[in-house]
Amino acid sequence: MSEGRDRWRDGGEDRSGEPGDPDSGGALLASLTLPNVLRDPRVVIARRDVASLSREKTIVLALFIQLFVAAFSSFLVVGLTSLYDPGSVSGTQVVVGVSGEHTDALIEAAEEQDGVRAVGFSTNEEARGAYVDGELNAALLTTDSEGRITVEVLAPEENIRTTLIVTEIRDLLEAVERNERIARAGSLDRQTVPVPGEVDASPYFGFTYTVLVPLLLFLPPFISGSIAVDAFTEEVERGTMELLRVAPVTLVDIVDGKAMGMIAIAPLQAALWILLLGFNGIQVANPLSLLVVVSAFATVVVVVGLLLGILTGTRRQAQLLYSVVVLLVFGTLVFLPEHPATTVAKLAVDSPTTLTFAHVAGYAVAAVALYLLARAVTRRTDPEAL
């Protein structure tokens, strides 16, 4: 049986590679030409599985989702972050009415701030009236209490601009607070640290690289794993596994082939993501290391899925256990010195440390070890029991 398999693998042409022949090593190397590799049963199975994905056109769905989200990555990021930092998005000015005993301090601080235009009023009632009439975006009514400046802020409710207005007012009042602290430095025990100047920066930067990029890169492995479970158990349930085993392949070859196919599509999708993000203006650094991480995770997840498929044999149980086990495994990753999402973020933003690269190497080693373990388990499984 194994002789037949070897001959199959050699393509049937080169007969010098008989098992036990001292020259079989060289023959093996010679047989690694592309046509022979493509005829390797494992590669055939892998190609068949991936081709069925494209024939079913469901991969189109996955690519569609990815395209949609990637094309929108900048749009989404702008939308979401503008909600907590709206001053960065809008270029308009907020008109604020100031009144009361500390009007001067506020107007002085407002002159330094571009997004605010302060209008002075002589009494608090005047300012309030002007606000209610709609002449102002907000009103700041100041009074003095126990040596502190008490500011009553009137802001519009349930308005899209409320977020922007409140943020600008907060910046203004923080500036006033800083000035006052410096003025009263004599009564303070501790000195405040001088605040660096304002820099015109993109506020979406952090969010994009720490949340969006890891999310997009970890999605393909999870999908791959789930499909791997289905690919195996569905064949068992429909009865086509018996047909496959009639071919001169062992169970290990079948598992190899299915794993190969599912693992290969994950870094391909990740690479597509990285390209699309690049088109959207989000540069991702260290792409090769990132693809290694994605492949390692895909390997782990696919191997877990296939193992569960072999051990349980039914789709429903395999899927249930897969979801739970994968959650558990990735839960434990939190205790690593560096969280995988952080690893991806640091690689993407180009701040990798030796620890980061150590983690990447660690993931790769773990993936290979798990794969070999899976092969060992499969070799010991009785195919008839499926």
- Interface positions, 252-311, toward another protein (CB under 8 A): none
350 forms part of the interface with another protein (CB under 8 A): yes
Instruction: Please select the residue that binds another protein; options are 95, 252, 271, 325, rule is CB under 8 A.
Output: 325
Q: Which is nearer to another protein, 23 or 350 (CB)?
A: 350
> In this structure, what token pair is assigned to residue 80?
């979401």
Q: How far is the CB of 297 from another protein (least distance, A)?
A: 17
166 scored as a contact of another protein (CB under 8 A): yes
DSSP state of 106: H
> How many angstroms separate the CA atoms of 148 and 355, rounded?
49
Checking 320-329 for CB contacts under 8 A at 24+ apart, the result is 322/225, 322/226, 322/229, 326/222, 326/225, 326/301, 329/300, 329/304
Among 334, 380, 384, 385, binds another protein (CB under 8 A): 334
Q: Does 33 bind another protein (CB under 8 A)?
A: no
DSSP assignment string, 307-339: HHHHHH-SHHHHHHHHHHHHHHHHHHGGGSSS-
382 is a contact residue toward another protein (CB under 8 A): no
Stretch that binds another protein, among 34-42, 170-178, 243-251, 365-373 (CB under 8 A): 170-178
With CB under 8 A as the contact rule, the residue among 32, 34, 193, 385 that binds another protein is 193
Q: Which is nearer to another protein, 69 or 271 (CB)?
A: 69
29 binds another protein (CB under 8 A): no
| 230 close to 310: Cβ distance less than 8 angstroms | no
Rounded least distance, CB 303 to another protein, Å: 17
CA distances from 202 to 115, 206, 208 (A): 16, 9, 10
* From 17-25, 143-151, 295-303, 367-375, span contacting another protein (CB under 8 A): 143-151
Beta pairing partners, 95: 117
Interaction between residue 345 and another protein (CB under 8 A) = yes
Give the β-pairing of 116-120 and 94-100: parallel
Please check whether residue 280 is in contact with residue 74, taking contact to mean a CB–CB distance below 8 angstroms: yes
d(CA 245, CA 226): 23
CA 170 to CA 164: how far, in whole Å?
A: 10
Q: Rounded CA gap, 176 and 118, in Å?
A: 13
Least distance between another protein and beta carbon 347 (Å): 10
Assigned token pair, 279: 């088109």
Element (DSSP H or E) covering residue 205: helix 205-207
Q: Cβ 122 to another protein, closest distance in Å?
A: 20
As given in the structure block, the two tokens for residue 20 are: 């036990």
Show contacts with another protein in window 213-242 (CB under 8 A): 214, 223, 226-227, 230-231, 233-234, 237-238
Nearer CB in complex with another protein: 206/278:
206
Q: Which is nearer to another protein, 155 or 254 (CB)?
A: 155
Q: Interface with another protein includes 327 (CB under 8 A)?
A: yes
For tokens 């207005």, the residue is 165
**Min. distance of Cβ 183 from another protein in angstroms?**
8
101 sits near another protein (criterion: CB under 8 A): no
| Binding status of residue 170 toward another protein by CB under 8 A | yes
Q: Which of 35, 147, 382, 384 binds another protein (CB under 8 A)?
A: 147
Q: Segment contacting another protein (CB under 8 A): 29-37, 202-210, 246-254, 362-370?
A: 202-210
Tokens of 332: 């434990």
Asked if 134 interacts with another protein (CB under 8 A), we say yes
DSSP string, 201-242: --TTHHHIIIIIHHHHHHHHHHHHHHHHHHHHHHHHHHTHHH
SS3 196: coil
Q: Is 48 in the site for another protein (CB under 8 A)?
A: no
Distances (CA, A) of 385 to 241, 242, 301, 381, 382: 12, 11, 24, 8, 6
User: Which listed residue (58, 93, 122, 123) binds another protein by CB under 8 A?
Assistant: 58
Helices (H), 72-123: 73-81, 103-112
Residue of the chain from 3, 158, 382, 384 that contacts another protein (CB under 8 A) = 158
Answer for which of 203, 248, 362, 383 binds another protein (CB under 8 A) is: 203
Segment contacting another protein (CB under 8 A): 89-97, 204-212, 296-304, 367-375?
204-212
Nearer to another protein, 34 or 201 (CB): 201
